[in-house]
C-alpha cells in the first residue's frame, strides 16, 4: 500500500491522505489493521 499527502492532488485535498492499494485483499486487510492500530495508539 502506498500513501501520499492529499495536497499532491490539488489544494482541495490539503489535510487528507491518498491511499493506493494495488495488492491482494489479504494484504490490504492486514495494512488496514496495522493502520488502525497505529491511529489508536497515536490518537490524542
Domain ranges of the chain: 2-42
pTM of the model: 0.60
How confident is the model over 13-38, as pLDDT tens digits? Answer: 999 988 887 889 998 899 889 989 99
In this predicted structure, the answer to whether residue 1 has a pLDDT above a threshold of 80 is no
Assess contact for 26 and 34: CB atoms under 8 A: no
Q: Which residue has the cell 500500500?
A: 1
Amino acid at each position: 500500500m502506498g500513501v501520499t499527502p492529499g495536497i499532491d492532488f490539488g489544494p482541495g485535498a490539503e489535510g487528507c491522505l491518498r491511499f493506493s492499494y494495488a495488492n491482494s485483499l489479504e494484504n490490504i486487510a492486514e495494512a488496514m489493521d496495522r493502520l488502525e492500530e497505529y491511529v489508536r495508539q497515536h490518537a490524542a
